[in-house]
Amino acid sequence: MEQTTYRLGCDIGGTFTDFVLVNNKTGEFYTNKCLTTPSDPSDAVEQGIRELNETKPGFMDTVEEVIHGTTLVINAIIERKGAKTGLITTKGFRDVLELGREIRYDAYDIFSEYPEPIVSRALRMEIDERLTADGRVLKGVDEKEVLKVLEQFEAAGIESLAVCFINSYENPVNEKKIKNIIENKAPDLFLSTSFEVLPQIREYERTCTTAVNAYVKPITYRYLEKLKTRLETIGFEGKLFIMLSSGGITSVDTAREFPVRIIESGPTAAVIASQYYGKMFDIKDMFCFDMGGTTAKSCLIQKGHAGLVSTFEVGRVQRFKKGSGLPIQVPVVDLMEIGAGGGSIAKISTLGLLAVGPESAGADPGPACYKQGGENPTVTDADLVLGYLDPKFFLGGTMALDLELSKKAIEEKIAQPLGTTMVEAAFGIHNLINETMAAAAKTHIAEKGGNPNIITMSAFGGAGPVHAYGLARKIGAPAIMVPPLAGVGSALGFFTAPVAFDLSRSHRVALDDADFKELEQLFNALEQESAGILEDAAKGQEVIYERTLLMRFVGQGAETDLVIETKAFDKFSKEDIRRLFDEEYKRLYGRTYHETPVELVTFKVRASLPKRPFSIPELKNNNTDIQTCIKGERPAFSYIKKDYIPFTVYDRSKLFANAKIPGPAIIEERESTIVIGEDATAEVDNFGFVWIQLNQSGIGQAGVKNDK
């Protein structure tokens, strides 16, 4: 008899750690959710697995792989809890991290602040070496000078070191030499070199990315080592994979070497899951909305694909102002932070107005209703007061909430200062966070050329399905899709992600002067390097490659991404490449400039393994009586009547295919709660997805669902 095997997804969020266990043979799911342990995230991982083991005893012995997403890296950057890090750079470039791009992110704010460099000036050292822009060596590395710098670093007590020389993306010879010296003379030092982390143009972004990688490398290494050990002690003998910000998954060894690649590890998985569901139902335009306990993220999926960007920011001084954070130049799914989460704290601003977030109560102490000492009212407290959450069924009844503590916090901190009722204050908190998210969402959709009136919103996270209805009303979305296990959507999304890795290398050359045979060799080198990274996971499987060119007009500051065929590059003509560039540029900007010369700047390769089997099992429930799915009725606040009205409460686990649910309704499951207003209806499909239509519009009107 064939042994049953499993895969386990584990996503560590700011408030909760989520688990999804899938049976590889039957597709059956088992879930768990427990509070995150900020002091040591691996504590929550072990606790959650042991709790899951009570439902499925002995499952760890047959788990083939654990896929893990974590906020450890981004939290270490934001909270500045990384390692003491040094930087070695070219003589004259010591202050690159401080100078940045010399751009004011707010031209009219004379008090605007900027993030402190990740490496202090005292720990930034120069080496007298130099390469030209085309990679020729003007001055090599003097080993005596390197050893002298190492002595200074040793005296300063650094734990990690970044190396970034000017123009090393064209020729890493000097960085390779210094790497050999350091590995021989200081083997215990964690080392990050720019030619390995980011061999691309733009000195500030490359230096900052390499420095950030070095800053978080020691804590990531120790955490992943500890996690592996703890998993082994509870019976795990399979492979451990880590979610990348780019939407793929990779090995622990790669994640330890390049921790900067896993900054957006958790939120990315919900987008990849949403993309998977879009293809499953042939939905072209989707808006992924993932709202957890600490943050909310969104992503517009167009033509079935979530976009990738090559640069993003972390640790912003002004949360929503571009340019106020540290630039990280690695591939990342085009996510946008559109507000806050269930733990976002409500307060009275200096102007005497209601404000919500960005500060969060997190997991400790958490919202007031958690009964862990939190005294500030949060979004979760407001949702509880408004009747959207059942205090006795939070996390399936395993974690009781205290309604009276929520009322007290909102009354004392919000209602009394504003001179309003406690209920009005609670709805103000709920409505304001929706309004904040809606404003950002509409901007994000418009920037991508999307139309909110034709998209289908997919709701993920513990708080996502609670707020999706209100958010959809504000942005004008006609339909909402809430997938099975939406409350642990990121952990489930890990199973839809490919094993993949992205590599890039800059090599500026005018198209008219380009040697396509030489460029084919560059692509081949990237493919061989990426295949080596995937070697351990591949086990003889075919590696699939995707090539991308970054091109621009000569003299332009920004590049245009151009996905090309994977055939040999020298099989293209220069006319072919120019035509592809002009077509893409015109699609993006409405026109092109045929008379202006173009140049090739950066070459990218994504290496991935074939898609792994994964599917959502069909519902086995043969019930057809909707009355048997009703848990009861409770008063909840109406968006339309601005008062409490009776909402029918349904048990999602009992819902069946083609079940129709008129609003006002609340659908409860262990991990999340779905709120449906009185001007909306819902229907359940064969796979257990809940499809909500607003304003009684039919599902087909927005082209949102094609059953297969």
DSSP alpha helices (H): ranges in 398-486?
403-410, 416-418, 422-447, 464-475
Residue 319: per-residue pLDDT: 63
Give the distance, in angstroms, between the CA of residue 169 and the centroid of all CA atoms in the same chain: 27
CA dist list (Å): 58 to 20, 63, 195, 236, 238: 16, 10, 45, 10, 14
Q: Which of the residue ranges 28-32, 137-141, 182-186, 601-605 would you say has the lowest mean pLDDT?
A: 28-32
Residue 474 has pLDDT above 90, yes or no: yes
Q: Which residue has the higher pLDDT, 260 or 15?
A: 260
CA–CA separation, 182 vs 178, rounded Å? Answer: 6
Q: Buried (b) or exposed (e) across 569-600, using 16+ Cβ within 10 A?
A: beebeeeebbebbeebbeeeeeebeeeeebbb
Q: What pLDDT, on the 0 to 100 scale, is given for residue 61?
A: 87
CATH match of 80-215 with 3.40.1360:
yes
CA atoms within a 13 Å half-sphere pointing along the CA-CB vector of 3: 8
pLDDT over 50 at 1, yes or no:
no
Mean pLDDT across 646-661 = 93
pLDDT of residue 707: 44
pLDDT-based confidence at residue 483 (cuts at 50, 70, 90)? very high
- Band the pLDDT of 700: cuts 50, 70, 90: very low
Mean per-residue pLDDT, 552-572: 90
pLDDT for position 338 = 65
SS3 label, residue 168? coil
What is the radius of gyration, based on Cα positions, of the chain? 26
- pLDDT score of 363: 66
Summarize pLDDT for 374-427 with one digit per residue, the tens: 889 999 999 999 999 999 888 777 788 899 999 999 999 999 999 999 999 999
What average pLDDT does the structure give for the chain? 88
Does the structure show a pLDDT above 90 at 14? no
DSSP state letter for 412 = I
Which of 157-161, 492-496, 653-657 is predicted most confidently?
A: 157-161
Do 674 and 465 touch, CB atoms closer than 8 A?
yes
Percent of the chain with pLDDT over 70: 97
The answer to whether residues 520 and 568 touch, using CB atoms and an 8 Å cutoff, is yes
| From 562-566, 674-678, 696-700, the region with the lowest mean pLDDT | 696-700
Three-state SS across 468-517? HHHHHHHHCCCEEEECCCHHHHHHHHHHHCCEEEEEEEEEEEEHHHCCHH
Count of helix runs (H) and strand runs (E) in the chain: 17, 35
Could you tell me which residues come within 8 angstroms of residue 515 by beta carbon, excluding any fewer than 6 positions away?
Answer: 509
Q: Is the pLDDT of residue 583 over 70?
A: yes
Domain regions of the chain by residue span: 80-215, 344-431, 500-608
Q: What are phi and psi of 263, to 5 degrees?
A: -60, -45
pLDDT at residue 491 in the model = 86
Name the token pair of 598.
Answer: 């173009």
Query: Tokens 């709202």 — which residue?
Result: 291
The residue among 361 and 665 whose pLDDT is bigger is: 665
Altogether, the residues listed in the chain come to a count of 708
What Cα–Cα distance (Å) separates residue 631 from each residue in 32, 254, 626, 668?
Answer: 22, 48, 11, 9
pLDDT at 699 over 60: no
More confident residue, 176 or 461: 176
Which of these ranges, 147-151, 285-289, 360-364, 476-480, has the smallest mean pLDDT? 360-364
Encode pLDDT of 73-113 as tens digits.
887 887 788 999 999 999 999 999 999 888 888 888 888 88
